[in-house]
Structure 1
């Protein structure tokens, strides 16, 4: 694409070419004035006049040497000389006094140098300002999260993020795990936050943390006051489980099997919140992520029993579309999500 860049009036007229102004002349630009409109294109040095050529010329004048100016622009001396000669032909004016050493600009060349320098500085300033706009953190970040993370963990990230970036906002939707994946794949969410995230050909994963899992009961449960437990104590106990198709259910079942525990599953739910309600009515035991029950532990509506399952954790991660570039706002919020929870330490 060719960009026509008007230079400020340079007052460049060849010696002996000054003419008295007439009404007709006032309405018809002189050939020299017409040539103050320099074509700026993306072509290489040596083609039509472009910003690279103008920068080369400024460096030659500043360094008072064609060879040093060429080196500063990573071109050969012959290519630099040819570019400046083409520039002089375009302007129909001598820009350099080649009879003097070190090299000097002519009077017209000095005036042209100042105009070029102003143009180049303006271009760099505009490019810097556009870069800032490009990186501005603004717009909406669409987040889909599983209930246990969305309800208990997202507020500590959303509040500082929106305070730091007042032109950005976070739109949070809590969903079933497979719907979190669907939302990201269908471009209904920029980020998905869920447990047991799996990378695929379409999805990338950013790991967040691994949450310890604990055995949970109602405070009046017969095992609640025991100071120590062994896996065999759970055999035959009523158990409130996650739905069969969830990754967390499969992980818990494996852990129980490895410890030789057979429980009686009396209820199955697809989210932590409903399981906590079932425990609240003493429907049975369950194994839940510890961060998801901190509030209930503090209120003594549930208790964590003294039996651990080594290696049983719930991994939490972010999923996003593979190959899709994040906007500045989405990228900054993803970074915010990866910050550790200092209050939990």
Structure 2
């Protein structure tokens, strides 16, 4: 029978690190080489960990080891714990260098394509002793990273389940139909989605939130959304549209910088769902650092 882990006995991070090494290498011997220790000592450490948890973590076979279901669960948590410890060590090191805190921000591609880099740049200029890292992720991964403690802030479109996270308002944008100036629809004051569904088009980030939104609204109009070309970025979509290969539905804020010198025509998309709202996500205040709260408040201050 499995024994529960005593609540008063925290797991040893060294044992967790060794366990992760064994799982990643698939071999106690290779993990021992990687960790610069004797294989017998590593095996003894793993045995003590299994005894402490009261369950088998590894299955031994002729070609090495693989984690049991319990081992798989521990492997995921161990990686989170070790990553959190590494971030804490790095942040404390930054304090020693004069930096007073760090914030890891994850943002969706749509947000990164607009004003977030400028907003964070302004924040850093005002707070030079804070360090901010910025990475791109899809919305679901941003939420997961925040819940797991792998990030401090997330900035994304509000069309996602935020679970127990705290949402602050940020900026918004407006979708428009982007096309070459010579396109027959380029002089229209506005367009409905149903009016462009038969036109050759460029799709952006297949499977992403905006792609799913457009497909859902096309289905409501009794049509199926199909694209002549699909690309992964909005910048690429603008270049393809400018070449006259089709039209695209894009945020106006992204398309405007590409529209100079008459390269693109931007026609508002007259749909109630065409305005997108972005939010800044954090964990509860008690689980958010002072530096992260300061950046979240700065981003909220420019909410539109």
TM-score normalised to the size of structure 1? Answer: 0.52
C-alpha change, 1:161 and 1:279, in structure 2 (3 Å) is same
Asked if 1:296 is matched to 2:258, the reply is: yes
Is structure 2 residue 135 aligned with structure 1 residue 173?
Answer: yes
Structure showing greater relative contact order (alpha-carbon pairs closer than 8 Å, 6 or more residues apart): 2
Distance between the aligned counterparts of 1:228 and 1:176, measured in 2?
A: 30
The corresponding residue for 1:317 is: 279
- Name the SS of the counterpart of 1:238 in structure 2: coil
Q: Give deviations 1:54-76, integer Å, cap 9, x for gaps.
A: xxxxxxxxxxxxxxxxxxxxxxx
1:314 shift after superposition: 1.8
Q: Secondary structure at the match of 1:171?
A: strand
CA drift of 1:264 comes to: 3.7
How many residues are paired up? 208
Unaligned runs of at least 5 residues, structure 2:
1-98
CA distance in 1, matches of 2:168, 2:289: 16
Q: 1:305 aligns to what?
A: 267
> 2 CA distance for matches of 1:324 and 1:269?
41
What is the 5 A alignment of 1:1-345? 138-226=100-188, 233-259=195-221, 264-305=226-267, 307-322=269-284, 324-340=286-302
Asked if 2 retains the 8 angstrom alpha-carbon contact of 1:237 and 1:263, the reply is no
Distance 2:141 2:231 in 1: 16
CA gap of 1:251–1:260, structure 2 versus 1, over 3 A, is same
CA distance in 1, matches of 2:258, 2:139: 23
For 1:338, what is the secondary structure of its paired residue? helix
Structure of greater Rg: 1
* Deviation, structure 1 residue 296: 1.6
Task: Give the match's secondary structure for 1:212.
Answer: strand
Q: Distance in 2 between matches of 1:221 and 1:285?
A: 9
**In 2, distance between residues paired with 1:190 and 1:209?**
19
Shift of 1:307: 4.7
Q: 1:302 to 1:177 in 2, by over 3 A?
A: farther
Q: Residues 214 and 305 of structure 1 are in contact (CA less than 8 Å); yes or no, is this contact kept in structure 2?
A: yes
The alpha-carbon deviation at position 214 of structure 1 amounts to 0.9
Judging changes above 3 Å, is the alpha-carbon distance between structure 1 residues 251 and 231 closer, same or farther for their aligned structure 2 residues? closer
- Judged with a 3 Å threshold, the aligned counterparts in structure 2 of structure 1 residues 270 and 196 are, in CA distance, closer, same or farther, namely farther
Q: Is the contact made by 1:234 and 1:263 (CA closer than 8 Å) also made in structure 2? A: no
Preserved contact between residue 199 and residue 205 of structure 1 (Cα < 8 Å): no
Q: How far is 1:211 from its partner?
A: 1.9
The answer to whether the 8 Å contact 1:213/1:288 transfers is yes
Note if contact 2:205-2:232 (Cα within 8 Å) is conserved in structure 1: yes
CA distance in 2, matches of 1:163, 1:231: 42
Q: How far apart, CA to CA, are the structure 1 residues paired with 2:272 and 2:163? A: 32
Kindly report the root-mean-square deviation, in angstroms, between the aligned alpha carbons of the 2 structures.
3.1
CA distance in 2 between partners of 1:165 and 1:324 (Å) = 22
Q: Tell me the distance in 2 between the aligned counterparts of 1:187 and 1:160.
A: 26
Provide the C-alpha distance between the structure 1 equivalents of 2:231 and 2:147, rounded to a whole number of angstroms.
25
Q: Which moved more, 1:270-279 or 1:207-216?
A: 270-279
Give the whole-Å Cα distance in 2 for the aligned partners of 1:163 and 1:328. Answer: 18
Structure 1 residues 314 and 152: CA distance shift in structure 2, 3 A: same
